[in-house]
Every structure is written in C-alpha cells, then in structure tokens.
Structure 1
Amino acid sequence: MGSTEGCVYVNGAFVPPAQATVPAFDHGFLYGDGLFETLRTYGGVPFRLDEHLARLEEGLAELAIRGAPPRSELQARVLETFARAKLPEAYLRITVTRGVSTRGLDPAGCEVPTVLIAALPLRTYPEASYTDGIAATVLWVRPTQVHPPPTLKSTSYQHTVVARPELSRRGVQEGFFVDGAGHITEGTVSNLFAVVGGALVTPPRTVCLPGITRAEVLSLARANGLKVLEEPLPTSTLSEAEEVFVTSSLAELLPVVRIDQARIGAGRPGPVYQRLHGLYRQRTADVAQKGGGE
C-alpha cells in the first residue's frame, strides 16, 4: 500500500487514511481520554522519535492507561507505517486512547488501548514565515491546575480548537495562553521563547507542554553559550522583549515580529533566532544525512 495520501495503522491493520476508523464507544472519541504525539521526518528519518515515544510512555503512566505496546513495538509500527505510505517526507501522528468501554465514564471497562499511527504528506510553513516573521496575540486565561495538566499532550484539545477562529478573526498566526498570575504559558500549538536583556527566557515546563523542539532549542542555546532562563514570563515582559519566537516539531522555530499592536524588537527576525534556527536545521540535516538512528 502507498499513495500520495499516506497510510494509517489502527490496532493491527494498515489502511488508507480515508478508511481509518475507531469504535463509537472509544474513550478517546467520547471523552478525549488519550494522548498523542506529532513529529516529522527529515530525509525519511523520523526526527527525535525516541524522545516523542518516551514522553508518550510517561504520559500514559501518569494517566494510568495500561496495556499499550512497549516503546520498541510502537517505534517499529511507526517506521512500518511510514514505509508503507511511500512518501518522501511525512507528518507522523501517534495516538493512544484508553480504548473501548460500554460503562460510560468508568475507565475500568477499558481493557485494550486503541493505537493509531498516521503517516501523511508533510505540509510545511511558507518560507516567508521564517524570513519575515509571523504575528501573534495574547489570548485568555487558561488555568494550569486542571486535569489533564498542560504538561500532557492530551487528545482533549478543545481549548486550542476554540482559539483557532479567534486567531483568524485577529489576523494572526499564533496565540498565547495566560495563567491566573498574568504569565504567558504557551502557544496554541507551540512553546514560547523570548530574548530579554540578552538572555533566552521560556516559561517553566510545569506550566506548558515540555516540547521536544523546546528541549532541542534549550540544548543548542546552552551548548552555544547563551544564557537560558526557565521562569515565569509576564505579558508586560513579552511586549518589551528584543526577540520572540515559537517552537514546534512541525514548524521548527518561527520568529514572532508582532504581538497584538506591539512590534517586537526591530520588527523582523532577530540574530538570536536566526542563529538558533540555523543550528537546529543543521542538526536535522545531520540526522537526514545519517539516514538512521539519532
């Protein structure tokens, strides 16, 4: 199997995307009771697959979703799904839900998790987003003391879905959630970084998803002599930053040059962003060139 549409693995079967289905009483469908990971390939190699699977494994343990395949088996299924898709590069999504139950909310009836792995054509951001930057907005307060917490990549993503029309209405590409103390936590689909007084500042991992790309950027920054601070980031500090950029597995690093009506820095991608994005792309190029494990 393989086409320009990709391939999906669902509980042991490989099917075209249009034929991928889950049962009506799956807890993921009914209640958003599950976790997922998204990543992309470079040179046909899934980037940081092991890190994504490790985060998934930790999240499943925290939510007490038992019975999922071990990490080695999930890795093999991801690679096989990508191979069957016959795509030069792919967007990969791994979803694990608690599974099927007829007992309503009670998770006790869910005995076998649902596992879905999708390998779909990769859609990248326009090059102008990297050279000219994007605009963002500050959104509403999102409590951090909720369950599942924002540190888990839950399939319960309604807060982000609801935010997307608001971004379109404001004419921006990304939005930032705020906690009750007025601190930025994260973007709708990204982690946030700001350059303040020459230091690279990002919200602590206790209030946001500990992104795989976020960790990569922190590693690159420290290895290249940048001062890094993981601390609360007030909205007032954000508007006064010299640079702002966001990170995600699909977007890599994207510079933010305007937040609401405030221009960030010189209104164009800054030197810290350019340096880190260059280093990040070099790292992904190295992985693609090796054509194997990372």
Structure 2
Amino acid sequence: MIVYKDGAWQGLEETSIPVMDHGFLYGVGLFETFRTYQGSPFLFQDHLKRLREGLASVYIEWEEDDDSLLQMIGTALEKNNLTDGVLRLNVTAGISNWGLPNETYTRPSTLLFTRPVAPVQDEGRRAIFLQIPRNTPEGSVRLKSHHYLNNLLGKRELGNLADTEGIFLTREGYVSEGIVSNIFWVKNSTLYTPSISTGILNGVTRQYVIHLARLLGVKVEEGTFTKDELLHSEEVFVTNSTQEMVRINQVDEVEFPKAGWHSLFERLRELYKESTYRQLQSYQQAKRVDIQNGKDKLISE
C-alpha cells in the first residue's frame, strides 16, 4: 500500500507519526472513510463537512482545500493500481507538548490510506446484540475519532464469526448502532432508526438513506427503541460508506426472510445505486469541462 502523509507518498511500512503527536498520545484525531465509483468519491462533500466540523470542535486547524484533496484521491488510486477503492482520510492533531494543551493545534498531519473494495454478500448477513454497551460520546456528539476502543471490544466479543455485525445497546437498553454501521428496520411501511440522542455516529450514509426514504414518501421515525421493537419488524438492514446498504437476514435467533421486489430495502438500495451513477456522470462531465477549459487556455496563449 502506498500512503500519503503531509505531501509525500511512501510505503505503508515507511509511514509513521512522531511519539509526541497528540493523535497518538491523547487520541486527538478524526477520520472519514468513503469509497469511489470509477474514481469519483461518493458523498465526498458530506464527508468533508463532517470532518471539518469535527476538527473545529477539537481545536484542530486544517486547511486542505477540496481541489487538492480530490487530486490526492486520484493519485492514491493510481499509485495503488486501483480503478476504485476504499479510502480513509485521517487528520491527527500533530506534535505538541507533553500534557493537555489549551491552545489550538495548528500543524496537524494529513494521511490518506487506500485499499480495494471488498465484495459484499448479497444474501445478507447475520447480526447479534452485544453484551458490551455502547459508550457515551466524549463530547456533545459522537465524532469519527481515534477513540475506537469500544468498537474494538465489540469486535472482540464477536470473535471469528463470519459475515456477522454486532449491534450495541445503550446502558439504558436502547438500540444504538453496529460496530461499523448504522442500523434501520421497517414495520408497517415506516422506516425506523435510532436517533442521535442515543449517542450514535450520524453516519453520512445514514443521513443519505433517510433522505432517499423521504424522497419516496416513506415515513421515517428516529427515536429510542428497544431490541424487542427491532425484533418484531419486517426488514432490517445496516449502512456504511464502504458496504453501502446490507440486508440483515437474522438478528440473534430471529430470521428476516428476503421480502422480494416490493421490499423497502430493495427500493432504497436501487435508488442509492442510481445516485452513485448520477454522481459519476456529473463527475465525468466536470472532468471533460476542466480538460476543455485547459485546451482553450492553451489555444488562447
């Protein structure tokens, strides 16, 4: 893997951060994970908006501009011999004094990791409720931060179970989210998902699926729900930017048979895939305009 770090491209084994980087010492750092479709990063502006707002909330000044980041993504795919990939854009606080600072971090480090898109089982996957509860956010909302121990412990609880997602409950017993996903379920033509008040990450894909459901005229309920409410639903699925939308065919011992063409999950997934195609068309059109503008400039000169 070829990794970008602060203006340089190098092998993964050669990439490191200083021991006095507060991303290492105190976990002061955020990241976004997204995927590309023929080179076009999907919902990229939404990811950047969340990242920039999160960085500001933890007092990190980050000045990378959109055009530079898009160019960086294209270079990352090229250097790793990929047409498409999953990318992780990571911003860590940077070097500071030993101790908890009061000043803003003004010299953060930017890293970009790339890997191939893993295939997703179309048959769906299983989910189980975890015994370890979802921890509460460190601040007012959950950030996609380096504080990932709760997720790691949840994954450890799963063990080596293949094609299985672990679902956290809050300490009060409400459904929150998966280890690496947000969760939805359907009952009586209504789409349900835990609210942000449960301490979940407000996933970019989560937000987009809610948007798509409302475009279809589907009622969406965000709230606090018990696991029994989920288990008595008709369809269950999870979302994240890497795997898009994945049907859940079993939660604990309760099975959810595939609902067929009339399934709300299938309708939403089809609309999601159509959205990726439409964005790709816009991206390719913008590239053609940029190329033509470049030619026009050369001719005029």
Residue matched to 2:270: 278
Residues in 2 aligned to 1:113 and 1:107: alpha-carbon distance in whole angstroms: 16
Residue matched to 2:97: 102
Residue matched to 1:200: 191
Structure 2 residue 28 is matched with structure 1 residue 33: yes
Residue matched to 2:138: 147
DSSP-derived class of the 2:239 partner: strand
DSSP-derived class of the 2:196 partner: coil
Residues in 1 aligned to 2:63 and 2:91: alpha-carbon distance in whole angstroms: 8
Aligned-pair CA distance for 1:110: 4.7
Residues in 2 aligned to 1:149 and 1:73: alpha-carbon distance in whole angstroms: 31
Residue matched to 1:9: 4
Residues in 2 aligned to 1:194 and 1:77: alpha-carbon distance in whole angstroms: 37
Greater Rg over alpha carbons, structure: 2
Amino acid at match of 2:45: D
Aligned-pair CA distance for 1:44: 1.5
Note closer, same or farther for the CA distance 1:253–1:109 as it changes in structure 2 (3 Å cut): closer
Residues in 2 aligned to 1:78 and 1:107: alpha-carbon distance in whole angstroms: 33
Residues 17-70 of structure 1: per-residue CA shift (max 9 Å, x gap): 332221122111222211000001111111111111111001011111124434
Residue matched to 1:268: 258
Note closer, same or farther for the CA distance 1:76–1:193 as it changes in structure 2 (3 Å cut): same
TM-score, length basis structure 1: 0.87
Residues in 2 aligned to 1:177 and 1:149: alpha-carbon distance in whole angstroms: 19
Amino acid at match of 2:258: R
Residues in 2 aligned to 1:148 and 1:248: alpha-carbon distance in whole angstroms: 22
- 2:61/2:104 contact within 8 Å kept: no
Structure 2 residue 124 is matched with structure 1 residue 133: yes
- 1:43/1:291 contact within 8 Å kept: no
Residues in 2 aligned to 1:109 and 1:62: alpha-carbon distance in whole angstroms: 10
Equivalent pairs counted in the alignment come to 282
- 1:98/1:110 contact within 8 Å kept: yes
Amino acid at match of 2:12: P
- 1:45/1:291 contact within 8 Å kept: yes
Residues in 2 aligned to 1:27 and 1:163: alpha-carbon distance in whole angstroms: 25
The structure, 1 or 2, with the larger RCO (C-alpha pairs under 8 Å, 6+ apart) is: 1
Aligned-pair CA distance for 1:75: 4.0
Amino acid at match of 2:144: K
DSSP-derived class of the 1:233 partner: coil
Structure 2 counterparts to residues 1-294 of structure 1, below 5 A: 5=1, 7-106=2-101, 108=103, 110-125=105-120, 129-130=121-122, 132-139=123-130, 140-144=132-136, 146-148=137-139, 151-168=142-159, 173-206=164-197, 207-264=199-256, 267-268=257-258, 271-292=263-284
Amino acid at match of 1:268: K
DSSP-derived class of the 1:162 partner: helix
Identity %: 35
Note closer, same or farther for the CA distance 1:232–1:133 as it changes in structure 2 (3 Å cut): same
Residues 76-121 of structure 1: per-residue CA shift (max 9 Å, x gap): 4334433443411111110011111231343648541111112332
Note closer, same or farther for the CA distance 1:248–1:93 as it changes in structure 2 (3 Å cut): same
Aligned-pair CA distance for 1:73: 4.0
CA RMSD of aligned residues (A): 2.3
Residues in 2 aligned to 1:285 and 1:158: alpha-carbon distance in whole angstroms: 36
Residues in 1 aligned to 2:166 and 2:140: alpha-carbon distance in whole angstroms: 19
Residues in 2 aligned to 1:61 and 1:75: alpha-carbon distance in whole angstroms: 21
DSSP-derived class of the 1:165 partner: helix
